Structures are given as C-alpha cells and as structure tokens.
C-alpha cells in the first residue's frame, strides 16, 4: 500500500477489562486461533506505511486492566504502550494517550478499538485516505449490520453526520428511529482539535464514562468537517464483547484461512475442522487428513502429512514426513521423511533429523534424534543427543533430572539401547555400543562396548511351598 500517511500515528484502545467476557484476563489477550485479539489489530496496522521507503506508522496501545500481562504478550516491539491506570471510558483512554503524544508532531491520529480483530489493512487504508482527502477534523468508520445490537448509533441529518449516540442513551423521541448505521470504533482525528475538544468530554451519561464518540457531536457543533465513512455491512468491523461474538469472529477467520490454503494447493480433507493460526505456513502439496490444530509459527512442507487430531504449535515439519494421529508437538523441528506418532509428544527443542522415527507414546524434550534414529515405543528422551541410526528400544528412559538439576545424555551413532533401560544422566554411550535390555546405566559406555547393568538371572528348583497341586 502506498498511500501517503506521513504525520500519522496510531493508537489502539486496549485498556478495558471486557466485563462482558466474564474473565479475569484482559479482553485483548483473548485468542482467536491461538493469537491474541490485539495481535490482529496490530497486524492490520503494520502495512500502513507513510511512504514506500519508510517503515510502518508508529503504534501505541493504551493498556490498563491486566497491563503487565499485555506487556509480556507483546514484548517484541510490535507496539509501544501508554498506561491508563483507571479505565474511565474510551474518551478517557484517548486523553491518556494524547497526554503522551501531544508532544509528537502528528497531523492525524488513527484510533482503533482493540477489540476489532477482523479488521483488514485495505479498509483501514481506504478510510485514512478518505479522511486525509476530505481534510476531516473527525472521521470514523460506520457499518450497517443486520442487528445494530449495543453499538453506538450514527445520527445523520440529510446525510450529514450529527452525532454518535451510544445505544443506551439513544432516545427515538430525540433522534428519530435509528437507521441501523453504527459506529465501528475506528477513528481518524486531526490532532489540531484534540487540545480543545478532549477537555470538553464528560461522563454525565448512563455509563458514567467518558465517551470518545462525543467528539463527533462536539466537532459538529463547531462546524468542523466530520466524515462518517460507510463500510457497508462489513461484519469484519464488528467489535467483540462477549464469548459468543469472539467465537463467531474466530470462525469467520478460520474459514478465511482454510479457504486461502486450499486455494494455494494445500489438501485439507476436513476443512470444517481444521484450525490454522494466521502465522502458520503450509506449502502447496502439504496434506491435513482430518481435524487438526496448527498454531503459532508452525510450517508444514510439501508432501508432509498431518493426520487427524494432531496439535502443532511453533513446529516445523519438512517434506514427506508423516505426523500420525493424536500427536502433540510444540517447538519441535522435524526433518524430511520422518515418522512421528501416533500418540507422540514432542516438546520444545525436540529435533528429528531426516528419516528419524518417534513412535507411539514417545515423549521428547530438548533432544536431537540423528538421521534414521528410531525411538518407536514408550520412551522418554530429555536433554539427549542421539546419533544417526541409533535404535532406542521400547520403554527406554533418560533420567535427566535428579530432583535439582537437569543433565545431558549423549548416545553415539549406530548404538543400540535395549528395551526398558534407564540411562541415568549425565551419561555417555559411545558409537556402536550395545546396552542390554533392562539395564540401569550410570557410567560411560565406550564405543563398541556391550553394557549390562542389571541383576544376573538365577534359576533354581521351585521350593516345595510354591508348588501347585497337580490335578
């Protein structure tokens, strides 16, 4: 997008508790497909660039309720923060922002409610462009949904905006029947008016809050240019206030993402039950055979198959690898031609090199399985480095934790670890070594050595008292 947005700053109102969510968490941290609501709003603002050479416009988020949690969730410079310790309304939130931003020389502020995650950059760009073109003192986006619900009503007179009246304040006797046009909660304000108009906001209304929407009536009264930018019935602009609305928005987003990937050549067999996060990357030719959840920065390469009921978070899967049903992968990286699951659990730092297998009921944490290494059944590998072609028998456990510290296990290439061994870390097993089944290994096993660490079997006649009567 190359609209000239110089002298534009953006403010996201994100301090509210979201009372209607009935939750102890700040509303803007509620997730859609694994990403917090606020993430989507910030993403939509990112493509707004002042000029082709410059970066995105600067963005501040007003935070209040649960502010530490919001700061922690967005600590990679996605936004700067302004605090509104008491949440006295959207107008009060803007005033808090303006106290910090008035020293900067923005000509306009784009103000966006933080609970509008489905908003798209293109619409925002058109809106800002129109506000600039008409040199509006106050511009805001409007929509006309089938049900105006509790949203602010736009009052017009012969097409000219007069005011935004909040639903609970709306009196038909005074304003006439509502047209159904509502305020979307997205504003573009000429900063020249803020010093004068912000102090005029008051909280003498049914909510006892300072309403940002009152700026419209105040501007009209001063004959300033006010633009109500009509975005039709664009449901993507509806704010989210309740769990019902959150899930409805998530479903719109989910369908949008699944359809995009299908169109790009990803084979999604259960499109109604695939949940794919917005930052996930799927290569054409990847295949999802049933209900799956793919979140975060997961990436599935061409030819890889993810079977039903798998959940992948921040996990990379290379070409021609199979992730079998009911596997749970987080922060893992899986090479080409691997097999994972069914029922595998790969935790952060699990790395499988090409051709490796991690089979059923295998848990791997912070460990590398080298090329063609196999741990096919019932195993825990933690803090382990396992060389190429190693075979890990059923029931092998790396005892990596002594109750205080974690310790590493190293297994050289071509080693064979028999079933049901406990490898008590720190411990090293050399190349080509063989560890007998049932061993408890506490000391180094050198290359090409055989280690047996278990009580020797003894055999003797069965004592009389244990004998069973012959029938």
Could you give the residue numbers annotated as active site?
A: 377
Q: Is 389 among the residues that bind ligand UD1 (CB under 6 A)?
A: no
Among 239, 355, 359, 430, contact with Ca ion (rule: CB under 5 A): 239
Closest CA to 414 of 382, 443, 387: 387
Q: Are strands 182-190 and 281-282 parallel, antiparallel or unpaired?
A: unpaired
**Residue 90 touches which of Ca ion, ligand UD1, none (Cβ within 5-8 Å per kind):** ligand UD1
What are the two backbone dihedrals, phi and then psi, of residue 32, each rounded to the nearest 5 degrees? -120, 120
DSSP state, residue 174: H
> Measured from the CB of residue 223, what is the shortest distance to ligand UD1 in angstroms?
23
> Measured from the CB of residue 182, what is the shortest distance to ligand UD1 in angstroms?
5
Q: Is 113 among the residues that bind ligand UD1 (CB under 6 A)?
A: yes
> Measured from the CB of residue 112, what is the shortest distance to Ca ion in angstroms?
11
Interface size with ligand UD1, residues (CB under 6 A): 30
Dig out the tokens for 152 from the structure.
Answer: 């602010």
The size of the chain, in residues, is 471
Residue 385's Cα: distance from chain center in Å?
A: 30
Q: Is 101 among the residues that bind ligand UD1 (CB under 6 A)?
A: no
Q: Give the integer Cα–Cα distance in Å for 418 and 430.
A: 15
Among 40, 151, 187, 261, contact with ligand UD1 (rule: CB under 6 A): 151
Closest CA to 118 of 299, 266, 245, 209: 245
Dig out the tokens for 470 from the structure.
Answer: 């012959």
Give the count of alpha carbons within 13 A of 141, CB side only.
30
Dig out the tokens for 137 from the structure.
Answer: 């003192």
- Residues 236-275, one symbol each (x = binds ligand UD1 by CB under 6 A, - = not), give ---x-x----------------------------------
**Residue 93 touches which of ligand UD1, Ca ion, none (Cβ within 5-8 Å per kind):** ligand UD1
CB 114 within 8 A of CB 37: yes
- Nearest residue (CB) to Ca ion, 25 versus 407: 25
- Residues 294-313, one symbol each (x = binds ligand UD1 by CB under 6 A, - = not), give --------------------
Closest CA to 365 of 355, 376, 379: 379
Among 79, 87, 234, 391, contact with ligand UD1 (rule: CB under 6 A): 87
- Nearest residue (CB) to ligand UD1, 233 versus 297: 233
- Nearest residue (CB) to ligand UD1, 151 versus 229: 151
> Measured from the CB of residue 139, what is the shortest distance to ligand UD1 in angstroms?
14
Taking CB under 5 A as the binding criterion, the range among 77-85, 107-115, 124-132, 350-358 that sits at the site for Ca ion is 107-115
Closest CA to 58 of 133, 128, 110, 95: 110
CB 60 within 8 A of CB 9: yes
Query: What DSSP assignment string belongs to 107-165?
Result: SEEEEEETT-TT--HHHHHHHHHHHHHTT-SEEEEEE--S--TTSPEEEEETTEEEEEE
- Nearest residue (CB) to ligand UD1, 184 versus 350: 184
Among 36, 114, 278, 342, contact with ligand UD1 (rule: CB under 6 A): 114
What are the two backbone dihedrals, phi and then psi, of residue 68, each rounded to the nearest 5 degrees? -65, -40
Q: Is 15 among the residues that bind ligand UD1 (CB under 6 A)?
A: yes
Terminal alpha carbon distance of the chain: 91
Q: Is 212 among the residues that bind ligand UD1 (CB under 6 A)?
A: yes
**Residue 40 touches which of ligand UD1, Ca ion, none (Cβ within 5-8 Å per kind):** none
- Nearest residue (CB) to Ca ion, 123 versus 451: 123
Q: Is 61 among the residues that bind ligand UD1 (CB under 6 A)?
A: no
Q: Give the integer Cα–Cα distance in Å for 375 and 362.
A: 7
- Nearest residue (CB) to ligand UD1, 67 versus 433: 67
Among 5, 73, 141, 183, contact with ligand UD1 (rule: CB under 6 A): 183
- Nearest residue (CB) to ligand UD1, 16 versus 382: 16
Cis check: omega of the bond before 399, within 30 degrees of 0 = no
- Residues 109-128, one symbol each (x = binds Ca ion by CB under 5 A, - = not), give ------x-------------
Query: What DSSP assignment string belongs to 330-376?
Result: ES-EE-TT-EE-SS-EE-TT-EE-TT-EEEEEEEEES-EE-TT-EEE
Task: Summarize as ranges the residues that interact with ligand UD1 (CB under 6 A).
Answer: 13-16, 27, 62, 64, 84, 87-90, 92-93, 113-115, 151-152, 164, 166, 182-185, 211-213, 239, 241
Interface contacts to Ca ion, rule CB under 5 A? 115, 239, 241
């Amino acid at each position: 997008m190359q609209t000239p947005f110089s002298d534009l700053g953006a403010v996201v109102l994100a301090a509210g508790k979201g009372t209607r969510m009935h939750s102890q968490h700040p509303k803007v941290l509620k997730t859609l497909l694994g990403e917090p609501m606020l993430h989507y709003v910030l993403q939509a603002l990112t493509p707004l660039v002042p000029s082709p050479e410059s970066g995105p416009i600067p963005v501040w988020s007003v935070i209040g309720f649960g502010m530490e949690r919001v700061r922690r969730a967005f600590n990679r410079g996605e936004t700067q923060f302004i605090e509104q310790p008491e949440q006295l309304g959207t107008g009060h939130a803007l005033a808090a922002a303006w106290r910090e931003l008035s020293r900067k020389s923005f000509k306009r502020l784009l103000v966006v409610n933080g609970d509008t995650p489905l908003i798209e950059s293109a619409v925002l760009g058109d809106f800002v462009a129109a506000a600039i073109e008409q040199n509006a003192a106050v511009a805001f986006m409007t929509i006309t949904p089938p049900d105006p619900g509790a949203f602010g009503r736009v009052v017009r007179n012969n097409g000219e905006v007069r005011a935004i009246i909040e639903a609970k304040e709306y009196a038909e006797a005074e304003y006439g029947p509502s047209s159904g046009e509502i305020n979307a909660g997205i504003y573009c304000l000429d900063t020249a008016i803020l010093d004068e108009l912000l102090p005029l906001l008051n909280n003498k209304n049914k909510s006892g809050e300072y309403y940002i929407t009152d700026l419209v009536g105040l501007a009209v009264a001063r004959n300033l240019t006010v633009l109500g930018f009509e975005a039709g019935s664009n449901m993507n602009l509806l704010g989210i206030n309740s769990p019902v609305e959150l899930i409805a928005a998530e479903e719109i987003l989910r369908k949008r993402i699944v359809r995009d990937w299908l169109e790009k050549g990803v084979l999604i067999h259960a499109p109604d039950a695939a949940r794919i996060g917005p930052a996930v990357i799927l290569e054409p030719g990847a295949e999802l055979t049933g209900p799956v959840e793919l979140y975060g920065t997961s990436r599935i390469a061409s030819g890889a198959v993810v079977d039903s009921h798998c959940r992948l978070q921040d996990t990379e899967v290379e070409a021609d690898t199979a992730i079998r049903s009911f596997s749970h992968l987080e922060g893992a990286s899986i090479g080409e031609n691997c097999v994972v699951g069914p029922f595998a659990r790969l935790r952060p730092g699990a790395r499988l090199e090409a051709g490796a297998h991690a089979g059923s009921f295998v848990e791997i944490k912070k460990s590398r399985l080298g090329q063609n290494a196999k741990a096919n059944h019932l195993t825990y590998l933690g803090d382990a480095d396992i060389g190429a072609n190693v075979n890990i028998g059923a029931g092998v456990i790396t005892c990596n934790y002594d109750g205080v510290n974690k310790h590493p296990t190293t297994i050289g290439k071509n080693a064979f670890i028999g079933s049901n061994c406990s490898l008590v870390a720190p411990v090293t097993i050399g190349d080509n070594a063989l560890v007998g089944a049932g061993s408890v290994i506490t000391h180094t096993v050198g290359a090409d050595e055989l280690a047996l660490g278990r009580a020797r079997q003894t055999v003797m006649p069965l004592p009389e008292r244990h004998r069973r009567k012959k029938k």
